[in-house]
Amino acid sequence: MQSIVNQIKTAAALALNHLYPEAKVTDEDILVNETKPEFKGDYTVVLFPFVKSLRQNPAVLGKALGDQLLASNPVFTAHETVAGFLNLTLADALLANFLNATYADQSYGTQASNGNKVMIEYSSPNTNKPLHFGHLRNNFLGWSVAQILKTNGSEVIKANLVNDRGIHICKSMIAWMRYGNGATPESTGIKGDHLVGDYYVKFNDVYKEEVAGLVATGKELAQAEKEAPIMLEAQDLLRRWEAGDAEIYQLWETMNGWVYKGFDVTYKRLGLDFDKMYYESNTYLLGKEIVEEGLQQGVLFRKDNGSVWIDLTADGLDEKLLLRADGTSVYMTQDLGTAKLKYKDYGMDSSVYVIGDEQNYHMQVLKLILQKLGEPCADGIYHLSYGMVELPSGRMKSREGTVVDADDMIDEMIRLAKEQTEQANKTEGFTEEELERLYRIIGIGALKFYLLRVEPRKKMIFDPKESIELAGFTATFIQYTHARIKSILRRSEIAYGPMVLGKDELAPLEKSLLLQLEQYPGIIDQAAREFNPSALCNYAFRLAQTYNSFFDKHQVLKAENEEKKQLRLMICALTAITIRNAMALLGIEVPERM
């Protein structure tokens, strides 16, 4: 069904062309806004663009257009022109029709397939340490955007490219070999990803000591950093791994296995999942043949020492290395190969990379190179760039131990949910299991909402000391609103169903709710186009705000008459569905009671 705003655009364009055949306006030429609360009306057509072209004064044009709209279209019941703005009042019947059609639609907002296939790569962790708070932003964003696109009609593949090889893993490995004494997650009771992370920290501690020791013997710092024995040993491990050394390969598999088990626990707690896993150990050698082709095409060039480059200076960028002089590949090379592999696997129309803004340049170059190479996957590449999550003290650095651990954060949020629920005396009538579930829903919901409510590209500062609020612009507020509605719906005994509304029967808050509810599919579409879950955070919050005002002002179960009761119950039902569905797109559950 066409949205109300689009109906207005169509009607206004038609009316203008009827009144002024020379106007030749299209739907897209009509600017429709919500009418400001201080004026009478629901939606406003901005007249200024036509004042000039049609050489009419705003008042005359507004009156003519308004009269024509009212005469030709029963969805409008009144109009008023104020200073170039044509304020239109919608018929209650229009909104009643909308309500009748949707109030029982549990999947309200879900669009039919649009034939578009898109891959979202997100999470993509390193396997040498547990997830931290900053990673959560990536994970929540990726999952949510995938869900939004899916609901908006796209076929979506959620992919995870695991960075399971490289020097960083070898650092954990060498520290474990030196100091682990055979420790395992089972023997220590430590979650696998944390155990491996502990040895990564250990590596850095030892490395610092060794460097300091060398400096004390008179070495230059830079030299000492290169010669520290533990670093040399880690580099040796990497070489042995690449050479296929069985012993090393087995340890690598074992420790990665610990990490995956740990990650799985965290992913599961957070409700995150993937359709396709890629591992860099399988992809890091890809891309070399693309380089060969690029050389033949003349897109790439070889320097005297044998290294291969692309010249992007004409595009305002630099020269970029693609193969080292010794023929080995760099990060970019393997990303070129992986992009091609993904496209071969799925042939998707677009490929979204959820990656921090520190890699803006890298992603720009990646896309540009693929375009220059004429790869069909190139144009569909989109970098969903997001800002870093920082602490008041600055960036989180895992090597310096200033990270906020993801698992700790989850525990803390759930603990906080429990504390606040108990403090508010809201635990009555729940079983222990129900309470555990409720605390999880509230705690994790708060965490997700907090990280999704800000536009992705903005960096955000998180102050753990202040902790996260459960009031105001939060998931908790929205969840609470849902629980309030459900409480009413549980008590309603009558069967309610389609109804007819006469003129001017809707109270202002009833009408506002219906207008907002009607906008929901448009919000999903916007969020999908912008890859921006925060649009849904804002929408769900505004809807809950309006509902709470409505709840305060109007009785539902004890409404003035049966008609009103039925109407309000239907509005309640659709509001609950819309809140639940909108929050589901963010990966946030809503409770029946809280």
Q: Which of positions 166-205 make contact with RNA (CB under 7 A)? A: 166-168
Q: Which of 460, 505, 563, 584 binds RNA (CB under 7 A)?
A: 460
Site string for RNA, 245-264 (x = CB under 7 A): --------------------
Site string for RNA, 320-359 (x = CB under 7 A): -x--xxx---xx-------------------------xxx
Residue 34's contacts (CB-CB under 8 Å, 6 or more residues apart) are 42, 43, 44, 515
- CA-CA distances (angstroms) from residue 483 to 342, 422, 575? 43, 17, 11
CA distance 150 to 152: 5
Query: Which CB atom, from 157 or from 234, has the smaller least distance to RNA?
Result: 234
Q: Which of 9, 150, 191, 486 binds RNA (CB under 7 A)?
A: 486
CA distance 476 to 405: 22
Could you tell me where the DSSP H helices lie in 495-561?
508-518, 520-530, 534-553
Q: What is the smallest separation between the CB atom of 39 and RNA, expressed in angstroms?
A: 4
Helix axes 246-270, 229-242, angle to 10 degrees: 90
- CA-CA distances (angstroms) from residue 370 to 283, 310, 377, 385, 491? 17, 11, 8, 19, 60
Q: What is the smallest separation between the CB atom of 556 and RNA, expressed in angstroms?
A: 4
Binding segment for RNA among 46-54, 93-101, 142-150, 201-209 (CB under 7 A)?
Answer: 46-54
Can residue 397 be called a binding residue for RNA (CB under 7 A)?
Answer: no
Can residue 316 be called a binding residue for RNA (CB under 7 A)?
Answer: yes
Q: Which of 176, 258, 267, 477 binds RNA (CB under 7 A)?
A: 477
Query: Which CB atom, from 44 or from 566, has the smaller least distance to RNA?
Result: 44
Can residue 49 be called a binding residue for RNA (CB under 7 A)?
Answer: yes
What is the gyration radius of the CA atoms in the chain, in angstroms? 29
- CA-CA distances (angstroms) from residue 469 to 417, 473, 477? 10, 9, 10
Q: What is the smallest separation between the CB atom of 128 and RNA, expressed in angstroms?
A: 10
Q: What is the smallest separation between the CB atom of 9 and RNA, expressed in angstroms?
A: 11
Decide: helix, strand or coil at residue 96: helix
Binding segment for RNA among 47-55, 63-71, 117-125, 517-525 (CB under 7 A)?
Answer: 47-55
Binding positions for RNA, 3-42, rule CB under 7 A: 31, 33, 35-36, 38-39, 41
Can residue 556 be called a binding residue for RNA (CB under 7 A)?
Answer: yes
Binding segment for RNA among 138-146, 198-206, 313-321, 373-381 (CB under 7 A)?
Answer: 313-321
Q: With beta carbons less than 8 A apart as the criterion, state whether 150 and 113 touch.
A: no
Q: What is the smallest separation between the CB atom of 419 and RNA, expressed in angstroms?
A: 9
Q: With beta carbons less than 8 A apart as the criterion, state whether 574 and 99 touch.
A: yes
Q: Which of 219, 269, 276, 459 binds RNA (CB under 7 A)?
A: 459
Can residue 424 be called a binding residue for RNA (CB under 7 A)?
Answer: yes
Q: With beta carbons less than 8 A apart as the criterion, state whether 69 and 42 touch.
A: no
Binding positions for RNA, 272-291, rule CB under 7 A: 280
Q: What is the smallest separation between the CB atom of 186 and RNA, expressed in angstroms?
A: 29
Q: With beta carbons less than 8 A apart as the criterion, state whether 148 and 133 touch.
A: no
Binding positions for RNA, 402-421, rule CB under 7 A: 417, 420-421
Query: Which CB atom, from 155 or from 434, has the smaller least distance to RNA?
Result: 434
Decide: helix, strand or coil at residue 547: helix
Please provide residue 126's backbone torsions phi and psi, each rounded to the nearest 5 degrees.
-85, 150
Q: Which of 245, 469, 505, 563 binds RNA (CB under 7 A)?
A: 469
Query: Which CB atom, from 38 or from 186, has the smaller least distance to RNA?
Result: 38
Q: In this structure, what DSSP letter does residue 30 have?
A: -
Please provide residue 151's backbone torsions phi and psi, each rounded to the nearest 5 degrees.
-65, -30
Decide: helix, strand or coil at residue 362: helix
Query: Which CB atom, from 157 or from 524, has the smaller least distance to RNA?
Result: 524
Binding positions for RNA, 427-456, rule CB under 7 A: 442, 453-455
Query: Which CB atom, from 65 or from 157, has the smaller least distance to RNA?
Result: 65
Query: Which CB atom, from 239 or from 458, has the smaller least distance to RNA?
Result: 458
Please provide residue 245's backbone torsions phi and psi, each rounded to the nearest 5 degrees.
-55, 120
Site string for RNA, 563-592 (x = CB under 7 A): -----------------------------x
Query: Which CB atom, from 311 or from 592, has the smaller least distance to RNA?
Result: 592
Binding positions for RNA, 81-100, rule CB under 7 A: 82-85, 87
- Per-residue b/e over 472-490, b at no fewer than 16 CB within 10 Å? eebbbbbbbbbbbbbebbe
Binding positions for RNA, 198-237, rule CB under 7 A: none
- CA-CA distances (angstroms) from residue 404 to 134, 199, 386, 407, 412? 8, 17, 18, 9, 11
Can residue 594 be called a binding residue for RNA (CB under 7 A)?
Answer: yes
| Total binding residues toward RNA, as defined by CB under 7 A | 89
Q: What is the smallest separation between the CB atom of 435 and RNA, expressed in angstroms?
A: 10
- CA-CA distances (angstroms) from residue 253 to 68, 160, 190, 277? 74, 18, 18, 16
Query: Which CB atom, from 72 or from 487, has the smaller least distance to RNA?
Result: 487
Amino acid letter at 238? L
